[in-house]
Amino acid sequence: MATLTVRGFALCAISLFNFGFVFISGADFIRFISFRAIYHNITGETTLCQDSIPWSEALRDSSVFKSLLVDMALLALFITQHSLLAWPPVKQVCQSMLGSLNRTAYCFTTALALQALMHYWQPVTSAPCLWSVRQAPWSVWFPLFCFTMHFFCWAIICTIIMMFDYPELMGIKQVYYQVLGMGEPLSYKSPQAQRFLSHYRHPVCLEFGVVLWLLPALSLDRLLMALTLSVYLALAHSLDKQDLTFLCNQIRSKVQLFTEPTSSPDSNLKEK
C-alpha cells in the first residue's frame, strides 16, 4: 500500500508539474504569435521589416535565407513531434512504456517544442513586408481591430478546449483515474466520442487561422509560419457527417448543463 501511495503521489506531482509547464508555454505562445506581432504595429509603425529595401536586394541577402532555414527547421521540429507521437504505432509503444503518463509526456514534449520554436525563432527584418497598414487613420485603427479579433479568437479557443475535457487533454484525468484504479478515462466515453476525438485533433482550426493571418503587417518569416501551420492544420482533420452530428449533440448537452444545474455531469460522457 505504501508503494502505491508513493507511486500515486509521484504520478500526481509529475502531472501537476506538466500542467504548469504547458500552461506557461501556452501563455508564452499567445504572446509570441499574437500580441508581440500586433504590439509593433499598435502606433502605426513597425520594426518587423524594412519596406525601403527592394525585393531584388532582399532576396540576395544571405541572412534572409539563413533566418528562413532556421525557422523552417523549428516548424519541422514541432510538426514532427506533434505528428510522430500521435501516430498509432508510436502511440502504442509510448502507452505501453509510460502508461497513464502517455498523454502527459505528449503535452510536455509539445510544450517543449513550442518553447524551442519561440526561443530560437529568427525574424526576417531585412526584407520588405508583404503587406503593411501605414496610412492614417488605419495605421492606428486596424492594429486595434486586429488586437480585438485576436483576443476574441483566443477566448473562443480556450472555451472550446475547456468544453473538450481539458483535464483529459492535459493528461491529468489519466493519472487521476490510474491512482484510483479506474482504468483509462477514454473507455468511459461512448464509441461516438472516441471516434470524434480520434478525428478531431485540432478543434480550433478556424480561430487559429484568423490569428495566424490577421495582422497589420505580414513579414516574410510570419508568412512562412502562417502557411506551414495552416497547411498542417488542414491536413490533420478527417471529420465526417457522424462527427458533426456528435459535435452538435455535445454542444446542446453543454448548453443544457448550464441551463439546468441539477443535471448530472456523467450524462455528458455518453451521447444522448
Supply 90's cell numbers. 508510436
**Residue reference for cell 443535471:** 263
In this predicted structure, what is the pLDDT of residue 9?
82
Tally of CB atoms within 10 A around 45: 11
CA-to-CA distance for 2 and 15, rounded, in angstroms? 20
Which residue ranges in the chain fall short of pLDDT 50?
Answer: 1-3, 44, 263-272
Distance CA 229, CA 205 (A): 10
Which of 104, 76, 123, 131 lies closest to 15 in space, CA to CA? 104
Residues 6+ apart with CB under 8 A from 204: 156, 157, 160, 161
- Residues in Cβ contact with 183 at an 8 Å cutoff, skipping those fewer than 6 apart: 177
User: What's residue 272's pLDDT?
Assistant: 43
**Distance between CA atoms of 191 and 94, rounded to whole angstroms?**
23
Per-residue model confidence as pLDDT tens digits over 107-147: 999 999 999 999 999 988 888 888 877 777 777 788 889 99
Position 119 scores a pLDDT of 95
Alpha carbon distances (Å) from 192 to 239, 249, 250? 12, 11, 11
Helices marked H in the chain — which ranges?
A: 2-30, 36-39, 55-58, 62-84, 88-98, 102-120, 138-163, 166-170, 172-179, 191-199, 205-213, 220-235, 241-259
pLDDT at 37 (0 to 100): 74
Res 188: pLDDT: 65
Residue 193 confidence (pLDDT) = 64
Q: Specify the pLDDT at position 47.
A: 64
